Amino acid sequence: MTTCPNCKSDCVQLRHKGRKAASTVGGLAGAVGGIASAMSGLQSGPSYGPNGGTLGAMLGALAGVLVGGIVGGGVGSALGGKAGDALDEGLFDQYECTSCGRTFTP
């Protein structure tokens, strides 16, 4: 059982500070990357077929942006979370005492 080094309380909780931060950053980066790749697909999209139609190209691009943003955000968030776990283990204090507020690594 992990206890607080300051007040000896066992009311401690994991912080996951690095994981949360990295997950947020990763999600944003992934969403931006997904949308950017969908936008580049939009620019080359109309060349797929002469009779494809502008509406079809626009709908396809819109779907691409949505899917790219959602999928990219999800993948980026998951990858960021993994990277954040490593940060949590190496850089940040892992535990926080809920009695006195002190953070520490056992």
- Which is nearest to 80 in space by CA: 72, 91, 68? 72
CA atoms of 80 and 35, how far apart (whole Å): 18
CA atoms of 47 and 78, how far apart (whole Å): 34
- Contact letters (x/-) for Zn ion, 42-81, by CB under 5 A? ----------------------------------------
- What the block records as the tokens of 88 is 């949590």
The verdict on 13 binding Zn ion (CB under 5 A) reads no
The verdict on 9 binding Zn ion (CB under 5 A) reads yes
Q: Which of the ranges 9-17, 20-28, 45-53, 68-76 carries the binding residues for Zn ion, by CB under 5 A?
A: 9-17
For residues 55 and 46, the answer to whether their CB atoms sit within 8 Å is no
Calculate the CA 78 to chain-centre distance.
6
When binding is defined by CB under 5 A, the residue of 1, 4, 72, 81 that contacts Zn ion is: 4
The verdict on 40 binding Zn ion (CB under 5 A) reads no
- Contact letters (x/-) for Zn ion, 85-104, by CB under 5 A? ------------x-xx-x--
Calculate the CA 36 to chain-centre distance.
17
Binding site for Zn ion (CB under 5 A): 4, 6-7, 9, 97, 99-100, 102
